[in-house]
Structure 1
Amino acid sequence: MTASATDSLTATTIHLTGHDGADVEAYLARPHGDQARGGVVVIHHLPGYDRATKEIVRRFAELGYDAICPNLYSREAPGADPSDAAATARAQGGIPDERLVADVATAAAYLRGLSTSNGRVGVIGYCSGGRQSVLAACHLDLDAAVDCYGAFVTGEPPEGFPLKVTNLVDQLPDLRAPLLGLFGAEDKAPSPEHVRELEEILTRLGKPHELHSYDDAGHAFFAVDRPAYRVAAANDGWERIAAFFERHLGA
């Protein structure tokens, strides 16, 4: 059975135990019913574990998936306002890659442990979460990955960049899941050149992928609460995401 849209769902805050024993807050949304379905791990953007991200989690539940978003800043600033927590994490250089992978693994295992799971789990991330979605798919057995304008999958961070990140070029040979990438042609990080480099690498490696760029969009074009929002690009992007996950996360 593939995912089916529904307007009947439940959403709640839960707590996961991280690989290091830490308490990790997470937002879970599930459609009503006991039919088998796939799961989606949502990786929030750098502004944090905020209302806009929780709306995205609920949207995936409306599309028929069990969806969860771990608060990546639970350790740095438990219970803090999302913007304050993000500032704290940024000041510390961001989230270490190893910990991100472990937190996504914990969230994916939680989804696969639900009685409604069909065993398939995808991951999606926005902004910094886009890079982290690709990172997770290079290290974990996931069934699909979506990168929404994640910077530094390719390309080098500029000198003085506040986050301690490297590109993922050397890790792309280990990509384990089909990848959907959605980008703005007016973006600078990732730039169109970075997207072309990613396309060339994935093609050379024989990795299943679909990359799409929107001429009228820059960074954060999915963000309905920001001036960067672009209706046409976001609507088309959501259609592509829905079709991609239905293809790869259906039973």
Structure 2
Amino acid sequence: MKNTGAVVGGAAVGASLMGLSGCSTSGSGTPAGSESSISAQQDYPQKNIFSMWNQIRTDEYGGILAETVTMPGYKGDSIHAYVSRPLGKGPFPGVILIPHMPGWDEVNLEITRRFSQHGCVTICPNIYERFGHGLPGEISAKAREAGGVTDDSVMGDCQGALDYLVSLPYSNSRVGVIGMCSGGRHAFLAGCTVKGLNAAVDCWGGGVIMSKDDLSPARPVAPIDLTSQLSCPLLGIFGNDDRSPSPAQVNQHEEELKKYGKDYDFYRYDGAGHAFWSYDRDAYRPVQAMDSWAKVMEFYKKHLIP
């Protein structure tokens, strides 16, 4: 085990990105285009995969194609998913983005495109589709009123998304998963239960630790109780001002990972609370957000590029 890095606080706004890191603990054990225009594109520069956006040469940006597709989800249900990919032959790694509690919204679609701009095929399944169509916030509220999306259905949708990605002719067969808030909880759960994942990223996922009173038919098992089943490296991104998960809960999660000798890296940020990537909210913390985005890119580059 090791402890590295310095805590990032609000006073560091003027500092350069490359000199920043969160407090870290580690363990081990959309342009339109036809098919003809797509095929005419120069291959995406492989060296750009998962590089930070301020480190790509201006003459090396590749085009992307983003679209809504249908894919088989839980129990074979046909659901919509938003897919964005680099143009070119590949092969490219894949990323599954699990939507957060506000639903299948523009924030998720933008993050999907962001990953593809940096060299991977990204899919964001609409895990709320079984509750109907409409404004994302209305549909996710309807889901909460019904007891929430079930862990089983989300994991089934994740498995379907993974199978979809690796079936693509330009896939390199390596897939990571990421989620924020409830999606972070689901990302950790996927790392413990979904077959074929190569990396998982939990961004401030609340509900990994649950009391007996928190359990429900939709969430019958606390994810922390499945830690022994984690089958891929894990990256955790957390704010020290968050209350769900609280710093104490993050520490408890880390102790469980150590207990089972899992491969993980946790980064904790001072001056940041829940959802500090959300630039449309007061919670947004630009310095901490940029530094943690760099951590995600580095992590995926390490584990998703053969």
Fold-level similarity (TM above 0.5) = yes
| TM-score when normalising by structure 1 | 0.94
Name the counterpart of 2:102. 47
Evaluate the alpha carbon distance shift between residue 149 and residue 80 of structure 1 in structure 2; reply closer, same or farther with a 3 A threshold. same
Evaluate the alpha carbon distance shift between residue 233 and residue 92 of structure 1 in structure 2; reply closer, same or farther with a 3 A threshold. same
Matches within 5 A, 1:160-239: 164=219, 166-239=221-294
d(CA) in 2 for partners of 1:132 and 1:75?
17
Name the counterpart of 2:70. 15
Name the counterpart of 1:84. 138
Which digits, 9 at most, give the CA deviation of each residue in 1:18-76, with x for residues without a partner? 23232211000001111211100000100000001100000100110000000011111
Q: Is the 8 A contact 1:41 1:124 kept in 2?
A: yes
User: Could you tell me how far 1:133 is from its partner in structure 2?
Assistant: 0.3
Name the counterpart of 2:180. 126
1:76 alignment partner AA: F
Q: Is the 8 A contact 1:152 1:166 kept in 2?
A: no
Unaligned runs of at least 5 residues, structure 1: none
d(CA) in 2 for partners of 1:182 and 1:53?
17
Evaluate the alpha carbon distance shift between residue 168 and residue 19 of structure 1 in structure 2; reply closer, same or farther with a 3 A threshold. closer
Q: Is the 8 A contact 1:147 1:180 kept in 2?
A: yes
Name the counterpart of 1:114. 168
d(CA) in 2 for partners of 1:61 and 1:195?
30
d(CA) in 2 for partners of 1:157 and 1:39?
36
Say whether residues 1:105 and 2:159 are aligned partners.
Answer: yes
1:241 alignment partner AA: V
Q: Is the 8 A contact 2:50 2:115 kept in 1?
A: no
d(CA) in 2 for partners of 1:76 and 1:239?
35
Matches within 5 A, 1:26-45: 26-45=81-100
Q: Is the 8 A contact 2:151 2:219 kept in 1?
A: no
Which digits, 9 at most, give the CA deviation of each residue in 1:176-222, with x for residues without a partner? 11000000100000000000011111011100000011111000001
Say whether residues 1:135 and 2:219 are aligned partners.
Answer: no
Say whether residues 1:248 and 2:291 are aligned partners.
Answer: no
Give the secondary-structure state (helix, strand or coil) at the position aligned to 1:146. Answer: strand
1:106 alignment partner AA: G
Q: Is the 8 A contact 2:74 2:156 kept in 1?
A: yes
Name the counterpart of 2:4. none
Q: Is the 8 A contact 2:50 2:298 kept in 1?
A: no
Which digits, 9 at most, give the CA deviation of each residue in 1:220-244, with x for residues without a partner? 0011111111101110110000000
Report the structure number with the largest CA radius of gyration.
2
Say whether residues 1:24 and 2:79 are aligned partners.
Answer: yes
Give the secondary-structure state (helix, strand or coil) at the position aligned to 1:111. Answer: helix
User: Could you tell me how far 1:164 is from its partner in structure 2?
Assistant: 4.4
| TM-score when normalising by structure 2 | 0.78
Q: Is the 8 A contact 2:95 2:123 kept in 1?
A: yes
Superposed CA RMSD: 1.9
Say whether residues 1:59 and 2:114 are aligned partners.
Answer: yes
Evaluate the alpha carbon distance shift between residue 159 and residue 18 of structure 1 in structure 2; reply closer, same or farther with a 3 A threshold. closer
d(CA) in 1 for partners of 2:242 and 2:146?
26
**Higher RCO, 1 or 2 (CA under 8 Å, sep at least 6)?**
2
User: Could you tell me how far 1:167 is from its partner in structure 2?
Assistant: 2.3
Paired-residue identity, %? 40
* Greater shift in the superposed pair: 86-95 or 121-130: 86-95
Q: Is the 8 A contact 2:73 2:158 kept in 1?
A: no
Evaluate the alpha carbon distance shift between residue 149 and residue 191 of structure 1 in structure 2; reply closer, same or farther with a 3 A threshold. same
User: Could you tell me how far 1:160 is from its partner in structure 2?
Assistant: 10
